[in-house]
Amino acid sequence: MLRRLSRVAARRVVLLVLSLVAVSVITFASINVLPGDVALMILGQQASEERLMLLRDQLGLNRPLWIRYLDWAGSLLSGDLGQSYYYTASVQELIAQRLPKTTFLALSAMFMAVTLSIPLGIIAALNENQRIDLFASLTAFAGLSLPNFFWGIMLILVFAEYLNIFPPSGYTSPLVDPVSAVSHIVLPAAALAFGLMAHIMRMTRSSLLEELRAGYIQLGRMKGMSESDIVYRHALRNAFLPVLTVIGFQLSYLFGGVVIIEQVFSFPGLGRLLFNSVLQRDVPVLQTVVVIFAGITMFSNLAVDLLYAVFDPRIGSGGEG
């Protein structure tokens, strides 16, 4: 198995590196061809043309685009992420401060979504077309239909404004005060988790129903196997592969969804940094955060591919393209 996993991992890593290079080129080109003058945004409308020209020279904005990309990519590979145009800190410091916060938010939302949606999907599949199945389907429909910022606003109104149970904004490190950290993370994580729960629950339900109708399940029942063994030892194991794919893709989606949720909850994470960088045209920060989000997406997909190879021996055994 180790040899098979190594082959799968090697192919995926090569594709990942090529994809990251392509993303970096597209990101750099897209950001740098946007209308607007970075020097003018930094110095303001009252700045003289001489000062603007001097700042453009200092920032290297007058050089050809491809040379600027090579300089930026080389600095990125060496660990020098540059200096923010807007914040009085290096890009590396800003990322180091905010990435752990966004990671904590995303993982909390994923934990909520997985622990609630998979059992709900199993219950819905085992009670097909009954009331609980209808309730689960309606919940999933609501989660898919409404954007996560809507859930964020509703959660703030109900649990922060009216009930005064959780704080409406802010962040506390779990290493400093775990209780306060949980109270601050519950509402933004729940807002992110609503949409994830809907996708995972629907996939769990449909995948498990498909397995329960398979011939080997009927054969197991004919042999007198208990229903719990049939469901949890056989059907659910085979049904989990599509669910695993959805979870992997939803983890990628999480790091995109945090941009709006962090604004709604004034959460000082990487998504809010990205949002402010767009408004301020802070190109070094903007480029780096986009590449980080792309890298997270690709690594999560790589992890899903490797887990697929663990659960399904057919992958990487010679027939994979």
**How would DSSP label each residue in 270-307?**
HHHHHHHHHHHT-HHHHHHHHHHHHHHHHHHHHHHHHH
- In this prediction, residue 311 has a pLDDT band, given cuts at 50, 70 and 90, of low
- pLDDT value at position 67? 83
pLDDT band at 318 (very low <50, low <70, confident <90, very high): very low
Residue 83: φ, ψ to 5°: -115, 135
pTM here is 0.81
CATH number at residue 214: 1.10.3720.10
- Containing structural domain, residue 274: 98-280
Longest dimension (CA), the chain: 87
Total domain count for the chain?
1
Type of residue at 81: L
List, for residues 118-158, the tens digit of each pLDDT value: 888 888 888 888 888 888 888 777 777 788 888 899 999 99
Confidence (pLDDT) at 144: 75
Tens digits of residue pLDDT in 49-100: 777 778 777 777 777 778 888 888 888 888 788 888 888 788 899 999 999 9
Task: Establish if 27 belongs to a structural domain.
Answer: no
Would residue 70 count as lying in a domain? no
Confidence of residue 320 (pLDDT cuts 50, 70, 90): very low
**Do the domain assignments include residue 189?**
yes
CA distance 302 to 13: 8
pLDDT above 90 covers a percentage of the chain that reads 16
Is there a domain that residue 16 lies in? no
Residue 22's pLDDT is 87
pLDDT for the residue numbered 213: 83
Averaged confidence pLDDT in the chain? 82
| Exposure letters 286-312 (e unless 16+ CB within 10 A, then b) | bbbbbbbbbbbbbbbbbebbebbbeee
Residue 12 lies in a domain: no
pLDDT at 142: 79
Q: What is the mean pLDDT of residues 198-220?
A: 84
Is residue 291 in some structural domain?
Answer: no
Is residue 64, in this structure, part of any structural domain at all?
Answer: no
HSE (CB half, 13 Å, CA atoms) of 209?
14
Give domain status of residue 120, yes or no.
yes
* Residue 225, SS3 per DSSP: coil
The token pair at 146 is: 């409404």
